[in-house]
Chain A
């Protein structure tokens, strides 16, 4: 059984002067018990897709079902069975963590005693017991995200939609959040996740759909995508701008495929499959050629690398006006 299906979803935002096709014919399928990652830069249309599937927004064209219910005709049924956790950790700041969860329990039509019990369970599960009776205003970013996720889980949903669950978190909180999400998935929850981070999709998703300008430009498992993108990257910042071309020629011979040059930052990058050994060769050969370097690194591919490989351009920021309320 498919937890989510979507066919030809279109959403156009019009302002007086411009027209932004936030979604331009998106098809999606998520099998029950699996994790789909929607990967793309800001403004690619990820959040719009999520809002349509969560019945917060009506598409201009296309059809979608969630848990077997039609988003156009059965929004209430969908809201009852999904858990949605948003980008902005939207829980009320002037309520305590416990009050927020209790209130959501009541909104999900638990009895008062049951809502109290469930709130207690979730506070314990998300490591918020000590902060439970403080107002959310005093919470850190990571604590807010955990509380927001807790609110999404209050009705024990079988299907969870997480919109950029770790954007803006520090690395430690991000890894903590990943552990929490992995545990949920192990317990059998179906998950649709949006993210700007390839690493995050890699960590959490069974399959990935890459979104750009409202269209899905690639699909596959993390390994399939990485094969297209070409594994890790060797990256060098050349001291002398005039030598970037020479460095790129040398690095192309060591790495896999053509090295790219960013003139502005004097950065030369090439995909590699040989780990630190190849990096040592880069250092040796550049040194022999008399090319001085300011910085050198071996790093995992980023969203920019995916986009460069798939589209030939780096991930661009769409106009900030495409989603109202973003500026907040």
Chain B
């Protein structure tokens, strides 16, 4: 047996436990599944999204997919990791013969697995309750790209907060950013409906880019390159900063 294989299996085992722990923490399920699904159902049922052509669900489903990624990467992962540092779990794991990249890989794998559940729930709610049907122009590869880039960007931001701030500050800021993304991230409200200065700021943030990318993936809307580049820049920047600043204890 070659050397890397056991390390990868250790990463797999840890990812499985991360996922199991997420399922055991009610607050994680609330923020990652119930809130995005609730937002989709609520705004989709009211059926009013200002300034769009077509059906609200076609705008809201990609938006809430973005919200789900933000919830998993920024809010859930960031807050859980911050408290794992306080409780010494990170130090304990750091003492095991698992390289640092192994821990991060396990956490990201768990986040990606959780996101698959989120996608399934949101698509089920959209299709079952709101009559959403995939567009013939929808692109599965683009959906995967959006998931991966969005996860890198928001998990990077979450770990950046967790690695540099006190746990309480991480909790407050991650929740604040989550709310800001909901309002300013093009999730339930198109960005061009915002006041001009706010719109200018919002266009630079990763949430809007992620929502646009999901929209391009689901509806075949033209030109996903701009949002993809913006999101990739956030992904590289946040991940690099997170790696540089992260502390185990």
Task: List chain A positions with a Cβ less than 8 A from chain B.
Answer: 51, 54, 56, 76, 79-80, 84, 86, 88-95, 99, 103-104, 106-109, 112, 148, 151, 155, 324-325, 328
Q: Within the complex, what minimum Cβ distance (angstroms) separates A1 from chain B?
A: 21
Closest to A56 in B: B94
Contact B7 A109 (CB under 8 A): yes
- In the complex, which residues of chain B have a beta carbon less than 8 angstroms from the beta carbon of A54? 95
Q: Within the complex, what minimum Cβ distance (angstroms) separates B47 from chain A?
A: 40
Contact B17 A86 (CB under 8 A): no
Q: Within the complex, what minimum Cβ distance (angstroms) separates B88 from chain A?
A: 3
User: Does B140 belong to the interface (CB within 8 Å)?
Assistant: no
Q: How far is the CA of A86 from the CA of B90 in the complex (A)?
A: 12
Q: Within the complex, what minimum Cβ distance (angstroms) separates A115 from chain B?
A: 8
- In the complex, which residues of chain A have a beta carbon less than 8 angstroms from the beta carbon of B99? 76
- In the complex, which residues of chain B have a beta carbon less than 8 angstroms from the beta carbon of A108? 10, 96-97
Answer whether A151 and B97 are a contact pair too, CB < 8 Å, given A90-B87, A328-B86, A328-B87: no
5 contacts across the A-B interface (CB closer than 8 A): A56-B91, A86-B95, A90-B87, A104-B96, A107-B93
Q: How far is the CA of A257 from the CA of B14 in the complex (A)?
A: 59
Residue-by-residue, is B121-136 near A (CB-CB < 8 Å gives 1, otherwise 0)? 0000000000000000
- In the complex, which residues of chain A have a beta carbon less than 8 angstroms from the beta carbon of B21? 92, 94-95
Q: Within the complex, what minimum Cβ distance (angstroms) separates B37 from chain A?
A: 24
- In the complex, which residues of chain A have a beta carbon less than 8 angstroms from the beta carbon of B84? 92
Task: List chain B positions with a Cβ less than 8 A from chain A.
Answer: 6-7, 9-10, 13-14, 17, 20-21, 24-25, 84-89, 91-99, 247-249
Q: How far is the CA of A76 from the CA of B101 in the complex (A)?
A: 13
Looking at chain B's contact residues, is the secondary structure mostly helix, strand, loop, or mixed? helix
- In the complex, which residues of chain A have a beta carbon less than 8 angstroms from the beta carbon of B93? 107
- In the complex, which residues of chain A have a beta carbon less than 8 angstroms from the beta carbon of B87? 88, 90, 92-93, 328
- In the complex, which residues of chain A have a beta carbon less than 8 angstroms from the beta carbon of B6? 109
- In the complex, which residues of chain B have a beta carbon less than 8 angstroms from the beta carbon of A155? 97
- In the complex, which residues of chain A have a beta carbon less than 8 angstroms from the beta carbon of B10? 106-109
- In the complex, which residues of chain A have a beta carbon less than 8 angstroms from the beta carbon of B98? 107
Q: Within the complex, what minimum Cβ distance (angstroms) separates A114 from chain B?
A: 11
Contact A91 B92 (CB under 8 A): yes
Contact pick for B95, options A56, A92, A95, A328, CB 8 Å: A56
Looking at chain A's contact residues, is the secondary structure mostly helix, strand, loop, or mixed? loop
Contact pick for B89, options A90, A99, A109, CB 8 Å: A90
- In the complex, which residues of chain A have a beta carbon less than 8 angstroms from the beta carbon of B248? 56
Q: Within the complex, what minimum Cβ distance (angstroms) separates B147 from chain A?
A: 26
Contact pick for B249, options A56, A76, A106, CB 8 Å: A56
Q: How far is the CA of A84 from the CA of B95 in the complex (A)?
A: 7
Q: How far is the CA of A88 from the CA of B86 in the complex (A)?
A: 10
Q: How far is the CA of A279 from the CA of B7 in the complex (A)?
A: 63
- In the complex, which residues of chain B have a beta carbon less than 8 angstroms from the beta carbon of A89? 88
Contact B14 A86 (CB under 8 A): no
Closest to A88 in B: B88
Closest to A91 in B: B92
Contact B96 A107 (CB under 8 A): yes
Contact B14 A106 (CB under 8 A): yes
Contact B97 A86 (CB under 8 A): no
Closest to A327 in B: B86
Q: How far is the CA of A80 from the CA of B89 in the complex (A)?
A: 18
- In the complex, which residues of chain A have a beta carbon less than 8 angstroms from the beta carbon of B89? 90-92
Most buried by B among A86, A104, A151, A325: A325
Q: Within the complex, what minimum Cβ distance (angstroms) separates B15 from chain A?
A: 11
Most buried by B among A79, A86, A109: A109
Q: How far is the CA of A106 from the CA of B9 in the complex (A)?
A: 8
Closest to B25 in A: A94
Contact A99 B17 (CB under 8 A): yes
Q: How far is the CA of A175 from the CA of B94 in the complex (A)?
A: 29
Contact B88 A90 (CB under 8 A): yes
Closest to A77 in B: B97
Answer whether A107 and B249 are a contact pair too, CB < 8 Å, given A56-B94, A76-B97, A86-B91: no
Q: Within the complex, what minimum Cβ distance (angstroms) separates A70 from chain B?
A: 16
Q: How far is the CA of A109 from the CA of B6 in the complex (A)?
A: 6
Q: How far is the CA of A112 from the CA of B21 in the complex (A)?
A: 19
Contact B92 A151 (CB under 8 A): yes
Q: Within the complex, what minimum Cβ distance (angstroms) separates A158 from chain B?
A: 14
Q: Within the complex, what minimum Cβ distance (angstroms) separates B166 from chain A?
A: 10
- In the complex, which residues of chain A have a beta carbon less than 8 angstroms from the beta carbon of B86? 325, 328
- In the complex, which residues of chain A have a beta carbon less than 8 angstroms from the beta carbon of B249? 51, 56, 324-325
Q: How far is the CA of A202 from the CA of B239 in the complex (A)?
A: 49
Q: How far is the CA of A106 from the CA of B97 in the complex (A)?
A: 10
- In the complex, which residues of chain B have a beta carbon less than 8 angstroms from the beta carbon of A324? 247, 249
- In the complex, which residues of chain A have a beta carbon less than 8 angstroms from the beta carbon of B25? 94
Q: How far is the CA of A328 from the CA of B85 in the complex (A)?
A: 10
Q: How far is the CA of A207 from the CA of B123 in the complex (A)?
A: 66
Contact A103 B14 (CB under 8 A): yes
